[in-house]
Amino acid sequence: EVQLVESGGGLVQPGGSLRLSCAASGFTVSSNYMSWVRQAPGKGLEWVSVIYSGGSTYYADSVKGRFTISRDNSKNTLYLQMNSLRAEDTAVYYCARLRGSSHFDYWGQGTLVTVSS
Amino acid sequence: SYELTQPLSVSVALGQTARITCGGNNIGSKNVHWYQQKPGQAPVLVIYRDSNRPSGIPERFSGSNSGNTATLTISRAQAGDEADYYCQVWDSSTWVFGGGTKLTVL
């Protein structure tokens, strides 16, 4: 059974950093395209970042230069390092598996990041 | 950047058919995917590549895509179908979501 479990969210001050983790089971992270999608309170879904099975990474313009996606193959875990956080980064962050470059077929339950002083 | 437009809300009577649209420039040339999200829960894929249903999704859910509009159709709407629905496409190494439509079952 495919499972994705995020962790690492919390309250952080503007300008601070946070690292999110997504532990996967039931499949191999490194053999798949993996992504982060976020949802601000009361708002819609926004794609954040992707890492391809070959290791290439891409980012939404809103986080480029501040966020870094990575994975640990030995732990079968996906990460999102978030630096220089802003109030507008406040959201529930979901990790999701991509089917090729197409659609998100499995999602985690999400972890809430709140950026506030 | 590519944009997807959805109505903010759609209402449907219990047992009737709901149609949720997703507009985009020549969206018919792209693969469109649909997600259902209930309050406090993660999104769930209900239609992929325009008209395909993942296993476990009822046949009441169907999709179509042509021209500038993709449509998610929910037949025989049930109270449990009440949720937010999002369309999504892939465009130039970015994944784009529509703004979401709140479906109310009356």
Q: How far apart are CA A91 and CA A87, in angstroms?
A: 9
Helices (H), strands (E): how many in chain B?
0, 9
- Taking contacts as CB-CB distances below 8 angstroms, the residues of chain A near B31 are 102-103
- Residue B81 is classified by DSSP as G
Amino acid letter for position A80 = L
Strand boundaries in A32-102, DSSP class E: 33-39, 45-51, 57-59, 67-72, 77-82, 91-99
Residues of chain A with pLDDT > 90, as a percent, come to: 97
Least Cα distance to A71 among A30, A114, A113 occurs for A30
pLDDT tens per residue across span B2-36? 999 999 999 999 999 999 999 999 999 999 999 99
Q: How far apart are CA B36 and CA B33, in angstroms?
A: 10
pLDDT tens per residue across span B94-106? 999 999 999 999 9
Q: How far apart are CA B62 and CA A82, in angstroms?
A: 38
Average confidence (pLDDT) over B31-58? 97
pLDDT tens per residue across span A25-53? 999 999 999 999 999 999 999 999 999 99
Q: Is the pLDDT of residue B92 over 90?
A: no
- Taking contacts as CB-CB distances below 8 angstroms, the residues of chain B near A107 are 42-44
Mean pLDDT, all residues of chain A: 97
Q: State the pLDDT at residue A92.
A: 98
Which residue among B49, B90, B97 places its CB closest to the CB of A45? B97
pLDDT tens per residue across span A79-104? 999 999 999 999 999 999 999 889 99
Residue A117 has a CB neighbour count (10 Å cut-off) of 9
* A81-102 CB burial, b ≥16 within 10 A, e <16: ebeebeeebbbbbbbbbbbeeb
Q: State the pLDDT at residue B93.
A: 85
